[in-house]
Amino acid sequence: MSKLNSIGLVEVASIALGYVAQDAMLKAADVEVILARTICSGKFLVVVGGNVAAVQAAVDAAVPLCAGALIEKRVIAQVHPEVFPAISMSVDMEPGKARALGIIETFSASSIIDVADAAVKAANVTLFRIHLAMAIGGKGFVLLTGDVASVNAAVQAGAAIAGEEGILVSKAVIAAPSRELFRDLF
């Protein structure tokens, strides 16, 4: 497996075609499955990582097999390294180290990865959760932390990406969240 630096996503309105897409993506290129599962409303989301050429080849292989059921496809090149552990919710962070909390919510699960990538590239923040569609009606959200100014800058940058696509649900910055709030997030 080559180094993960890009992400490809395919979201379909059919669970069966989701599995077909996942299989095609894995056979087409040297990619790693980051996430593949059913999501709200009977849809299926496949997220793969690899180098940009492999990710593009994987998405290109899946799309024709999903005719009539394709909701969204996306290739995101040169993704910030913090995005990968945040998607798998494997960021280890002690609640005492968390500072301001930034939240960005979108109508699209796949778009939240672009939003998170833009946010972490814009400011010195730590991404600790990227939630993709499960039990939230197909939406996505990102949680990040850092000093107040950095969190504000990151949230503004991420929200601008979502706003350009017309899919921003909401954004918030909590300057001094309670310890209990962060304890519940980890």
Kindly report, residue by residue over 107-119, the tens digit of the pLDDT: 877 788 889 999 9
Whether pLDDT at 170 is above 50: yes
In angstroms, the CA 23 to CA 31 distance is: 11
pLDDT, position 175: 92
**Residues 134, 100 contacting (CB under 8 angstroms):** no
Higher-confidence position of 176 and 154:
154
Rounded to an integer, the average pLDDT of 11-15 is 92
Higher-confidence position of 93 and 157:
157
Whether pLDDT at 174 is above 90: yes
Q: pLDDT exceeding 90 applies to what percent of the chain?
A: 54
- Crossing angle of helices 52-62 and 15-28, rounded to 10°: 140
177, two tokens: 């969240």
Whether pLDDT at 1 is above 50: no
Whether pLDDT at 97 is above 80: no
Whether pLDDT at 7 is above 90: yes
pLDDT in tens, 31-46: 999 888 888 778 898 9
pLDDT, position 94: 65
Give residue limits of the domains in the chain.
6-76, 83-185
* Least confident range of 47-51, 93-97, 158-162, 178-182: 93-97
* Same-fold call for 6-76 versus 83-185: yes
CATH superfamily of 83-185: BMC (bacterial microcompartment) domain (3.30.70.1710)
**Residues 30, 59 contacting (CB under 8 angstroms):** no
In the chain, at which residue ranges do the beta strands (DSSP E only) sit? 6-12, 32-39, 43-50, 70-76, 100-106, 126-132, 140-146, 168-174
Q: What single letter denotes the amino acid at residue 47?
A: V
Whether pLDDT at 129 is above 90: no
For 6-76, give the CATH class.
alpha beta
Work out the mean pLDDT of the chain and round it to a whole number: 87
pLDDT category, 138, cuts 50, 70, 90? low
Q: Rounded to the nearest 10 degrees, how much is the dihedral formed by the CA atoms of 57, 59, 61, 63?
A: -150
